[in-house]
Protein backbone atom coordinates (compact mmCIF):
# COMPACT_ATOMS: atom_id res chain seq x y z
CA UNK A 1 0.00 0.00 0.00
CA UNK A 2 1.14 3.53 -0.71
CA UNK A 3 1.67 6.03 2.04
CA UNK A 4 1.49 9.47 0.50
CA UNK A 5 4.13 11.68 2.01
CA UNK A 6 5.53 14.77 0.41
CA UNK A 7 8.74 13.03 -0.70
CA UNK A 8 6.81 10.19 -2.33
CA UNK A 9 4.42 12.57 -4.07
CA UNK A 10 7.28 14.66 -5.37
CA UNK A 11 9.22 11.63 -6.62
CA UNK A 12 6.08 10.19 -8.21
CA UNK A 13 5.35 13.51 -9.88
CA UNK A 14 8.88 13.83 -11.28
CA UNK A 15 8.76 10.27 -12.64
CA UNK A 16 5.42 11.03 -14.33
CA UNK A 17 6.83 14.21 -15.82
CA UNK A 18 9.80 12.27 -17.13
CA UNK A 19 7.45 9.72 -18.70
CA UNK A 20 5.53 12.53 -20.39
CA UNK A 21 8.76 14.32 -21.42
CA UNK A 22 7.70 17.41 -19.45
CA UNK A 23 10.28 17.55 -16.66
CA UNK A 24 12.51 19.96 -18.60
CA UNK A 25 9.58 22.38 -18.96
CA UNK A 26 8.93 22.37 -15.21
CA UNK A 27 12.60 22.90 -14.45
CA UNK A 28 12.97 25.69 -17.02
CA UNK A 29 9.97 27.50 -15.56
CA UNK A 30 11.42 27.29 -12.04
CA UNK A 31 8.50 25.20 -10.83
CA UNK A 32 10.38 22.40 -9.05
CA UNK A 33 10.63 24.20 -5.70
CA UNK A 34 7.03 25.46 -5.96
CA UNK A 35 5.78 21.94 -6.61
CA UNK A 36 7.77 20.51 -3.72
CA UNK A 37 6.42 23.15 -1.33
CA UNK A 38 2.86 22.53 -2.51
CA UNK A 39 3.19 18.79 -2.00
CA UNK A 40 4.56 19.46 1.46
CA UNK A 41 1.26 21.23 2.27
CA UNK A 42 -0.57 17.94 1.73
CA UNK A 43 1.20 16.25 4.61
CA UNK A 44 -0.30 18.75 7.05
CA UNK A 45 -3.81 17.39 6.51
CA UNK A 46 -4.23 13.78 7.59
CA UNK A 47 -7.62 13.28 5.94
CA UNK A 48 -6.39 14.54 2.56
CA UNK A 49 -3.28 12.39 2.87
CA UNK A 50 -5.41 9.32 3.62
CA UNK A 51 -7.73 9.96 0.68
CA UNK A 52 -4.81 10.48 -1.70
CA UNK A 53 -3.24 7.29 -0.41
CA UNK A 54 -6.40 5.36 -1.28
CA UNK A 55 -6.62 7.09 -4.66
CA UNK A 56 -3.00 6.19 -5.44
CA UNK A 57 -3.66 2.58 -4.43
CA UNK A 58 -6.92 2.13 -6.33
CA UNK A 59 -6.67 4.52 -9.28
CA UNK A 60 -3.05 5.33 -9.98
CA UNK A 61 -3.74 7.07 -13.30
CA UNK A 62 -6.36 9.34 -11.72
CA UNK A 63 -3.91 10.14 -8.94
CA UNK A 64 -1.20 10.98 -11.48
CA UNK A 65 -3.60 13.18 -13.44
CA UNK A 66 -4.58 15.05 -10.30
CA UNK A 67 -0.93 15.76 -9.53
CA UNK A 68 -0.32 17.09 -13.01
CA UNK A 69 -3.47 19.23 -12.85
CA UNK A 70 -2.35 20.70 -9.56
CA UNK A 71 0.94 21.70 -11.15
CA UNK A 72 -0.93 23.44 -13.96
CA UNK A 73 -2.82 25.44 -11.31
CA UNK A 74 0.46 26.28 -9.59
CA UNK A 75 1.85 27.45 -12.91
CA UNK A 76 -1.20 29.64 -13.45
CA UNK A 77 -0.81 31.13 -9.96
CA UNK A 78 2.82 31.86 -10.69
CA UNK A 79 1.95 33.51 -13.99
CA UNK A 80 -0.68 35.67 -12.24
CA UNK A 81 1.91 36.51 -9.54
CA UNK A 82 -0.40 35.45 -6.72
CA UNK A 83 0.91 35.38 -3.16
CA UNK A 84 2.17 32.12 -1.63
CA UNK A 85 -0.85 32.09 0.67
CA UNK A 86 -3.32 32.43 -2.21
CA UNK A 87 -1.40 29.84 -4.20
CA UNK A 88 -1.62 27.46 -1.23
CA UNK A 89 -5.37 27.95 -1.11
CA UNK A 90 -5.68 27.29 -4.84
CA UNK A 91 -3.60 24.16 -4.55
User: Which one, of 52, 14, 55, lies nearest residue 31 by Cα?
Assistant: 14
* Whether the predicted pLDDT of 7 surpasses 70: no
Across the chain, what does the average pLDDT equal? Answer: 76
With bands split at pLDDT 50, 70 and 90, how would you rate the model's confidence at 1? very low
For the stretch 18-53, pLDDT in tens is 776 767 777 777 777 777 777 777 777 888 878 877
> What is the rounded distance in angstroms from the CA atom of residue 61 to the CA atom of residue 44?
24
With bands split at pLDDT 50, 70 and 90, how would you rate the model's confidence at 5? low
- Greater model confidence, 28 or 4: 28
> What is the rounded distance in angstroms from the CA atom of residue 74 to the CA atom of residue 90?
8
Buried b or exposed e, range 50-61, using 16+ CB within 10 angstroms: eebbebbeeeee
Amino acid sequence: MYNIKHNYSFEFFISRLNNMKLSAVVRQNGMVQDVFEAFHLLTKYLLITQKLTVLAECRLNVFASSLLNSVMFLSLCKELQLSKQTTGHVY
